[in-house]
Amino acid sequence: MSVTAAPAARGARPAAPGVASARARAALYWIARHAIAVALAIMFLGPLAFVALTALMTDRQALTADLWPDSWNWGNFAEVFERAPLLRWLGNTMLYAGLSTAFMLLSSIPVAYALARFRFRGRNLAFFGVIAMMMLPPQVVAVPIYLVWARFELTGTLWPLILPMLLGDAFSIFLLRQFLVTIPREYTDAAKVDGCSDLRVLLKVVLPMARPAIAAVALFGFFYCWNDYYGPLLYTSTAPEQWTLSLGLASFRSLHSVQWNLTMAATLLVMAPVIIVFFFAQRVFIEGVTLTGVKG
């Protein structure tokens, strides 16, 4: 890249010896940059590695300062399943994340399309409303919403978190709309001239073109729910049979106070699905993140 070229360009004015030292400097910079990158990579991966190594130690060794397990106790993972209803937490988490994501897509795509394509008075106002809702910290409106769900006797379940997704999610609407406005109008207009209804245009023309954005929104939505702690804590902290993985994991250490190895094994088990999905869908994630930030 250009910076590596800079010393060479300056060194080119004298003669041969300057070129050689410039080349040596460029090589040194190359090494320095990659050394920093490797050091950073170790810092980024280190925590995950320590979690994994501790998860495999014996109860006693996990309380020492050792980094490397003396013996590999794979049974710790099985023990976590015995100690905590991990599968139930997993099931609840899947229900919460899966249904929420499906509902969110169903309700948000038409709204985003209307905001991106239809021309009507108040469109900017409506879009401002979406942004206002997106920026609202969820805690601000928690009390009245909680009271409504309490009246329907749905507190103590995850439904207060799932059902609202049927009415659109502001962040998803925003993101989809930002993508849909970039689809050239010619495509949708041409389909309309051919006599397609708006719904058909959306299904046959727009959705196939918007697949990357929809995939990104779906993944973000799913992971938001998967990682959510505040929502399940608010509604299900008194109903342990409804706990999600995040909620269960947060209380795991207090239940098994000194067994760091089991706590770390549980932590690793909660991390694992996310990491596995990431390796299969890496591109979708990175493109999606880029979509959220570059529109500034």
Partner 1 sequence: MAITVPPGGAPRAARPRGEGRKALLWASPWLIGFGLFFAYPLAATVYFSFHRYDLFSLEFIGLDNYRHLLGDDRAHTAMRNTLWLVAFMVPAQTVFALGVAQLLTRLKAGAGFFRTVFYLPSLVPMVAGTVAFVFILNPATGPVNQALALLGVTGPDWFGDPAWAKPGLTLLAMWGAGNTVVIFLAALLDVPRHLYEAAAIDGAGAWRQFRDITLPTISPVIMFSAVTGVIYALQYFTQAMVAARVASGVTDSPGSSFVPGYPEGATLTLPQWLFHQGFRDFTMGYACVLALVMFAASTLLTLVLLRRFSAFTADGEGS
Nearer to partner 1, 71 or 238 (CB): 238
- Residues numbered 87 to 116 that lie near partner 1 (CB under 8 A) are 107-108, 110-111, 113-116
When asked if residue 82 is in the footprint of partner 1 (CB under 8 A), the reply is: no
When asked if residue 233 is in the footprint of partner 1 (CB under 8 A), the reply is: yes
Please provide the DSSP assignment of 218-251 as one string: HHHHHHHHHH--HHHHHHHTT-GGG--HHHHHHH
Measured between alpha carbons, how far apart are the two ends of the chain, in Å? Answer: 26
- Residues numbered 147 to 176 that lie near partner 1 (CB under 8 A) are 147, 150, 164, 166-168, 173
- Residues numbered 5 to 44 that lie near partner 1 (CB under 8 A) are 5-6, 9-10, 30, 33-34, 36-37, 40-41, 43-44
Please provide the DSSP assignment of 118-151 as one string: ---TTHHHHHHHHHHHHHS-TTTTHHHHHHHHHH
Report H helices in the chain.
2-11, 16-55, 59-62, 75-83, 86-117, 123-135, 142-151, 159-162, 170-180, 185-193, 198-200, 207-209, 211-227, 230-236, 245-255, 260-280, 282-293
- Residues numbered 245 to 264 that lie near partner 1 (CB under 8 A) are 245-247, 249-255, 257, 260, 263-264
Query: Using CB under 8 A as the criterion, what x/- string covers residues 115-134 for binding partner 1?
Result: xx-xxxxxxx-xxxxxxxx-
When asked if residue 47 is in the footprint of partner 1 (CB under 8 A), the reply is: yes
- Residues numbered 270 to 289 that lie near partner 1 (CB under 8 A) are 270-271, 274-275, 278, 282, 285-286, 289
For tokens 């942004």, the residue is: 131
Applying CB under 8 A, the site for partner 1 has a residue count of 117
When asked if residue 185 is in the footprint of partner 1 (CB under 8 A), the reply is: yes
Q: How far is the CB of 68 from partner 1 (least distance, A)?
A: 11
Contact 90, 150 (CB under 8 A): no
Q: How far is the CB of 217 from partner 1 (least distance, A)?
A: 14
> Considering only residues 60, 204, 211, 295, which one is a binding residue for partner 1 as defined by CB under 8 A?
295
For tokens 């996990």, the residue is: 62
